[in-house]
Structure 1
Amino acid sequence: MKLRVVSSKKEITDLNRNEQLVHLAFRASNMDVMNLVQSCPRLRAVQIPPSYHETMSRAAQQFLEIQGVQLLKGDVWGHRKDIDEYYAIGEQIVNRISTLMSEGNSIEETVRKLQRETKLSEDLIRYILKEQVMA
């Protein structure tokens, strides 16, 4: 699973139309959100830093919801965009989630353990759990 990191408004129009998971590393306006959804019709989730989530307009949040796009809070720790524009979430993380769930851990316990082990955000772990493990 790959998370496309977008660090400026200018990059939105250059995105691949097939992007499904995007991290916005800038404070997006309503127009930026609309342009993102238009540029990526297969978009399923957008992750933004928690501090930006607090200031994101309700209209933009509702627009994403209407379009069927999940809004996730979180950061991409240790990612260097100059090296790769994608933040890779390895298959071992998905396998670890599956293992924890098959061992009888609750969703809450699984999320808590994975956050400690991987530094992924709670929302992103829940998204992976729903889309990859429980699907």
Structure 2
Amino acid sequence: MKIRVVSSKEEISTLSPNEEIVHFAFRPSNTDLFSLFMKCPQVKAIHIPNSYRRTMSNSAIMYLKMQDIELLEGDVWGHRKDINEYSEISQRVYDKLSECRQSGMQEEDIIEKLVRETGLGRDFVSFFIKNT
């Protein structure tokens, strides 16, 4: 699973229309979000830092719900945008998920374990499990 990291408003226009998960490394305005939706109609999730989530407008949050686009809180720790514009989920996380499923763990227990062991945010882990 790839997460496209967007560092500025200007980058939105350079995105591929096929992007499915986008991380905003800046505080997006409603205009920025709507520009993203127009550019990337297949987007399934917006990933933003926790502090930015608290300042999002209710209209933007309602629009995301209406469009069935998930709003995920968290950071992409250790990612260097100058090296790669995508942050990727490592194979180790896929292996851990598979291992947990094979052992018959409940979804909530899997979420707790992956959050604890990978450092990924709870929202993102839930989204990852549903889409894998």
TM-score of the aligned structures, taking structure 1 as reference length: 0.92
Instruction: Give the SS at the match of 1:55.
Output: coil
Local SS of the residue matching 2:51: helix
Letter paired with 1:99: E
Q: After the TM superposition, which of the residue ranges 92-101 and 4-13 deviates more from structure 2?
A: 92-101
Identity %: 46
Tell me the residue number matched to 2:89. 89
Whether 1:12 aligns to 2:12 is yes
Aligned equivalents of 2:118, 2:92: Cα separation in 1:
11
Q: What is the match of residue 73 of structure 1? A: 73
Which residue does the alignment assign to 1:123? 123
Q: Deviations over 1:71-99 (max 9, x none)?
A: 11111011111111100112331231121
What is the match of residue 29 of structure 2?
A: 29
The separation in 2 between residues aligned to 1:91 and 1:41, in whole angstroms, is: 27
Write the mapping of 1:39-54 to structure 2, written as runs, cut at 5 A: 39-54=39-54
Give, in whole Å, the separation in 2 of the partners of 1:32 and 1:107.
34
Instruction: Compute the TM-score of the two structures, normalised by the length of structure 2.
Output: 0.94
- Give the Cα separation in 1 of the matches to 2:65 and 2:91: 28
Cα distance in 2 for partners of 1:14, 1:6 equals 10
Q: CA RMSD, aligned part only?
A: 1.1
Contact 1:20 1:43 in 2 (8 A): yes
Unpaired runs of 5+ residues, structure 1, are none
Q: Distance in 1 between matches of 2:5 and 2:98?
A: 26
Tell me the alpha carbon deviations over residues 31-52 of structure 1, each in whole angstroms, 9 at most, x when there is no partner. Answer: 1110010010110111111110
Question: How many corresponding residue pairs?
Answer: 132
> Helix, strand or coil: the match of 1:33?
helix
- Residue in 2 that maps onto 1:110: 110
Unaligned runs of 5+ residues in structure 2 are none
